Amino acid sequence: MLSTPPRQNRILVAVLFGSFVGNLEAIMPNAGLPHLVKTLHTSLSQGTWVLTIYILLFATSMPLLGKLGDRLGHSRLYVLSLSIFSVASVACALSPTILWLIVARALQGLSIAPALPSAMAIIAEHFDSESRGRAMGILGMVVAGSTALGAPLGGVLTHLMGWPAMFWVTAPLALIGVGVSLRTFSRLPERVGRKHPLQIDWGGATLFTAGVILLMMWLSTASTQGWVSQTSWVEGGVVVVVFWGYRWQSRRATVPFIPGTLWHHRRFRGISGVRALQMVVLYGVLFLLPIYWETTQHATPAAAGLGLLTLPLSMMVSAPWAGRASDRYGSRRIVALGMFLTAIGSVAIGGWPGNVANPLMIGSLIVLGIGFGFVQSASMTAVSFTLTAEIKGIALGIFNMLTFVGGTLGLALFGGLVSHSGGFRESFALMAVAGFFGMALAHRSIPDKEWAAAVESQTTNGSDNGSD
């Protein structure tokens, strides 16, 4: 059910609100955390949960809420997501205690989780193969822009008006998004929801979500407590047991939480793997460079933050262009080029380390940012062509969830490598390997433009079953 260009523009504007406020709230509290901890008279360890609980629930609930979108309708779920998020933002701003704030942040993360998968599903439904890349590129630009804006905006708002301002600013934006979405989506027929009964294997959903939460927590702590420590082995064993329980439950369920065809879909696995690799490198760079600049180049935290701003700004500029190029040349070439630039940028940073103002360092960050922007937009476009509407929501939920799992793995892997051996050069060499591997994986698994157009035609006629 494709829409006309004027209506497409209105749809695109509507779905940008959720991605913007959701990503902004993931970043902003980092800058205001010290002031927040002091004002609420709590410890830093407790205050860290304000950041952690949001990301955990935001990432791990995407598959379940994507599944609900498949059955209830993605536009309905998107509006509900923004509505609850606005209420949760007000609750955060009014929090009198740290416990209240943590609970409100949990509701924030849970409520906004379906926004990005639903936005991608809505774009896939209303944009054809000639315009979908452009839409995904603009969506990627907004995600990158909110990343670039989050930290400085959080710091400024906290300095001028106190930490509650970080939540007051997103509540009205979310409400505006609700109004725009209701006006836009009320004129569109819902493609899914009425045709399919709500059938969810709640046992499988619970085990899968719990397994991903435990996996991310294990990755987050393993680098500090040691990968081969007894505690790490026990936690890793628990993760394996929970996922084994999920697999056992899926075999028993009449309608498994995740369709079996999804696990066997080579193209979906490949695209998701490339995106996860990109996030491993992205989170690694964001984590390592400030440490490197501050410990070896004696840069101030402010200078390190400003120097790092080059990366998301480059992503924001390159993402729309990459989306348009995907429409013209196909996603395979753009993703592969993006991973190649990721590898080259990693080699460059590891080869000529320097301070924040070093022109070679700035140039390397620009190359990395362009590569990240290419992969982000083109992979979002590619994955939208691989699956039918019936399973698109849960597939996009898993796709986006894996980006956060990849980011968590990057933090754990490179954090552990640097803390135990001080290996900055080794870390960037490993990032380069990830980039070249991702380039090869993109060539092997991402469909070309002609195949994507054929799948779109089959999906419209209801003949594609979503398997390879």
- Tell me: do 40 and 62 sit in the same domain: yes
| pLDDT, average across residues 58-64 | 85
- Tell me: do 267 and 154 sit in the same domain: no
Of 220, 235, 256, which marks where a domain is finished? 256
Q: What is the pLDDT of residues 277-336, one digit of tens each?
A: 998 888 888 778 877 777 777 777 667 777 778 888 888 889 888 888 888 888 888 999
In the predicted model, what is the mean pLDDT of the chain?
A: 81
d(CA 126, CA 15): 12
Residue 399 within any structural domain of the chain: yes
d(CA 342, CA 366): 10
- Tell me: do 164 and 217 sit in the same domain: no
Residue 193 within any structural domain of the chain: no
Out of 27-36, 74-83, 252-261, 458-467, least confident range: 458-467
224 vs 50: which has the higher pLDDT = 50
Question: With 80 as the cut, is the pLDDT of residue 57 above it?
Answer: yes
- Tell me: do 241 and 320 sit in the same domain: no
- Tell me: do 314 and 297 sit in the same domain: yes
- Highest mean pLDDT of the ranges 39-48, 409-418, 448-457: 39-48
| pLDDT, average across residues 51-73 | 83
Q: What is the pLDDT of residues 254-278, one digit of tens each?
A: 878 888 777 777 888 888 899 999 9
Residue 379 within any structural domain of the chain: yes
Residue 306 within any structural domain of the chain: yes
Question: With 80 as the cut, is the pLDDT of residue 81 above it?
Answer: yes
Of 212, 239, 256, which marks where a domain is finished? 256
**Count of domains in the chain?**
3
Of 161, 187, 213, which marks where a domain is finished? 187
Question: With 60 as the cut, is the pLDDT of residue 158 above it?
Answer: yes
Residue 195 within any structural domain of the chain: no
d(CA 56, CA 8): 32
- Which residue in 44, 27, 26 sits closest to 35, CA to CA? 44
Parent domain of 219:
201-256
Using an 8 Å Cβ cutoff, are 369 and 310 in contact? yes
- Tell me: do 45 and 112 sit in the same domain: yes
- Tell me: do 179 and 210 sit in the same domain: no
Q: Please report, as a single letter, which amino acid is at residue 405.
A: V
- Tell me: do 252 and 265 sit in the same domain: no
210 vs 392: which has the higher pLDDT = 210
The 3-class secondary structure across the chain, one letter per residue, is: CCCCHHHHHHHHHHHHHHHHHHHHHHHHHHHHHHHHHHHCCCCHHHHHHHHHHHHHHHHHCHHHHHHHHHHHCHHHHHHHHHHHHHHHHHHHHCCCCHHHHHHHHHHHHHHHCCHHHHHHHHHHHHCCCCCHHHHHHHHHHHHHHHHHHHHHHHHHHHHHHCCCHHHHCHHHHHHHHHHHHHHHHCCCCCCCCCCCCCCCCHHHHHHHHHHHHHHHHHHHHHHHHCCCCHHHHHHHHHHHHHHHHHHHHHHHCCCCCCCHHHHCCHHHHHHHHHHHHHHHHHHHHHHHHHHHHHHHCCCCHHHHHHHHCHHHHHHHHHHHHHHHHHHHHCHHHHHHHHHHHHHHHHHHHHHCCCCCCCHHHHHHHHHHHHHHHHHHHHHHHHHHCCCCHHHHHHHHHHHHHHHHHHHHHHHHHHHHHHHHHCCHHHHHHHHHHHHHHHHHHHHHHCCCHHHHHHHHHHHHHCCCCCCC
- Tell me: do 224 and 140 sit in the same domain: no
Only one residue has tokens 């085990």, namely: 207
259: left (phi over 0), alpha (psi -120 to 50) or beta: beta
Q: Please report, as a single letter, which amino acid is at residue 419.
A: S
Using an 8 Å Cβ cutoff, are 321 and 370 in contact? no
Residue 131 within any structural domain of the chain: yes
- Tell me: do 251 and 270 sit in the same domain: no
Confidence label for 107 from pLDDT (cuts 50, 70 and 90): very high
Confidence label for 42 from pLDDT (cuts 50, 70 and 90): confident
Question: With 80 as the cut, is the pLDDT of residue 90 above it?
Answer: yes
- Tell me: do 218 and 305 sit in the same domain: no
41: left (phi over 0), alpha (psi -120 to 50) or beta: left
Using an 8 Å Cβ cutoff, are 267 and 325 in contact? no
| Backbone Cα Rg of the chain | 21
- Which residue in 144, 150, 152, 151 sits closest to 369, CA to CA? 144
Residue 192 within any structural domain of the chain: no
Phi, psi of 443 (to 5 degrees): -60, -35
Q: Give the CATH number, domain containing residue 294.
A: 1.20.1250.20
Confidence label for 454 from pLDDT (cuts 50, 70 and 90): very low
| pLDDT, average across residues 127-156 | 81
Phi, psi of 235 (to 5 degrees): -65, -40
